[in-house]
Homo-oligomer: A and B are copies of this chain.
Amino acid sequence: MPQFLTSSDADFESRFAALLTMKREDSVDVDDAVAAIIADVRARGDAAVIDLTARFDRLELTPDRLAVSEAEVDAAVAQVPAAERAALEQAAERIRAYHERQLPEDASWTDAAGATLGWRWGPVDAAGLYVPGGLASYPSSVLMNAVPARVAGVTRLVMCVPSPDGVLNPLVLLAARLSGVSEIYRIGGAQAVAAMAYGTETIAPVDKITGPGNAFVAAAKRRVFGRVGIDMIAGPSEILVIADGQNDPDWIAVDLLSQAEHDASAQSILITDDAGFGARVAEAVTTRLETLARRDIAGASWRDFGAVVTVRDLDEAAALANRIAPEHLELAVADPDALAAKITHAGAIFLGQWTPEAIGDYVGGPNHVLPTARSARFSSGLSVLDFLKRTTMARMTPEALKAVGPAAVTLAGSESLEAHGISVQARLDRLNQG
């Protein structure tokens, strides 16, 4: 059974605090193993990647077989049924349209001192996208990572996807083609991350690595951070639904299960101002679990980490939501905009009863790569900005230097950075002579 909490209960604060800090993942310590893998790839390049792929994916490769060829992609893509192709195309198009709005503007202005200031944005040269193999090899993930990179203007877009026993997912390859991936390698794990970060004879290094992965991939991303940019270290998925009593309990139950079915470590929480409704949703979850294909996973998640929280009113719901800082937040209430205005921390908000979270996983338009584990307190979902960087610009005229230079000389003196001061003073002296 999930937990049932009621905000008016005496033990509520301690139980809610425990819910917030609940440990949902066994952090396997793979850091030493990953350090060794990265060192091996740096030292031996392709040969190391090939050895590690034989060991972990039971796949014998040669350097010329690391890349998935165009012909292989053609053959795989040809197998995709028309309905699935159309759905992927619609998703790609909607994701592209949303992310095109994120492109930031350059700026340049001249201030009162006569200084011309501003900034310019530009894309990274090359991005690497990690896609897990096996069960969690999702074509939607390819779109969500690759489309923003292409919208940002990234020209070289590398994808690494392991193919355990040689199996690749045709829909993943189609998603890669639809979103403009330029190179695909059939490798995975820490060795793929190392190859993208440091390069091998066959794989040129990239500047930024994004995409989800297992503990090895996460540890490798953490280690190569600094050498390349990374997106985030994603934890198990979460959903918080705030619903009033005017909802179909079955819809809300399925929405909760749509996160629970991802992973036994996922977490689904309902907050409602109607205790009876909360009980009906819990019953509906139990009923749905009887027939759900992934009932073992979803059932374990709901049992171990699920919660139904009854609150006095929606203001209280908003305050609790901000403490949770959920990855996904559904607002199934009469006035979702009013409630959304009270939310300060959430990765993505889904407004109203016609917006189940699953829409956002595929075809809504916004990105589904979102901050987990309360990190929406300080971070955002993946966006075009992750593939851009900003260069600041400053140009002084002699007049501007006269206006601001003396303060720089003073502060350089305070910080005992003499050459800093001289570099400004030498120019001021010339101006004062003139």
Q: Which residues of A contact B (CB under 8 A)?
A: 83-84, 86-88, 90-91, 94, 97-98, 101-102, 104, 107, 109, 111, 113, 115-117, 119, 122, 124-125, 135, 138-140, 171, 207-208, 222, 225-226, 228-229, 232-233, 248, 250-251, 254-255, 257-258, 260-262, 288, 292-294, 298, 336, 340, 343-367, 370-371, 373, 375-381, 383, 385, 389-398, 400-401, 404-408, 410-412, 414-424, 426-427, 430
Contact = CB atoms under 8 A, between A and B. Distances in A.
Given A101-B109, A354-B397, 8 more contacts: A90-B404, A91-B407, A125-B377, A343-B391, A345-B389, A348-B394, A354-B398, A383-B390
B125 A427 contact: no
Nearest to A421: B358
Contacts of A340: 393
Nearest to A368: B392
A207 B261 CA distance: 30
Nearest to A135: B416
7 contacts: A102-B119, A171-B414, A260-B419, A349-B393, A358-B421, A361-B417, A366-B394
A117 to B, nearest CB: 5
A344 B123 CA distance: 8
Given A111-B365, A229-B378, A419-B288, A351 B394 contact: yes
Contacts of A367: 392
Nearest to A230: B378
A395 B352 contact: yes
B84 A251 contact: no
A352 B401 CA distance: 12
A219 to B, nearest CB: 12
B255 A423 contact: yes
Nearest to A418: B293
A288 to B, nearest CB: 7
A420 B91 contact: no
Contacts of A232: 226
A390 B233 CA distance: 17
Nearest to A205: B377
Contacts of A336: 395
A358 B88 contact: no
A380 B389 contact: yes
B139 A415 contact: yes
Nearest to A391: B346
A420 B258 contact: yes
Nearest to A343: B391
Contacts of A117: 98, 364-366
Contacts of A347: 391-392
Contacts of A424: 356, 358-359
B375 A380 contact: no
Given A405-B359, A426-B250, A418 B122 contact: no
A420 to B, nearest CB: 4
A412 to B, nearest CB: 6
Contacts of A400: 354
Contacts of A419: 254, 257-258, 260-261, 288, 292, 294, 298, 358
Given A365-B111, A418-B293, A394 B87 contact: no
Given A207-B377, A355-B395, A365-B394, A410 B255 contact: no
A132 to B, nearest CB: 12
Contact of A411 (B362, B375, B390, B394): B362
Contacts of A392: 347-349, 360, 366-367, 370, 381
B90 A391 contact: no
Contacts of A408: 87, 358-359, 361-363
A373 B226 contact: yes
A419 B298 CA distance: 9
A255 B250 CA distance: 68
Contact of A356 (B248, B257, B427, B430): B427
A417 B421 CA distance: 63
Contact of A225 (B222, B381, B390): B222
A91 B414 CA distance: 13
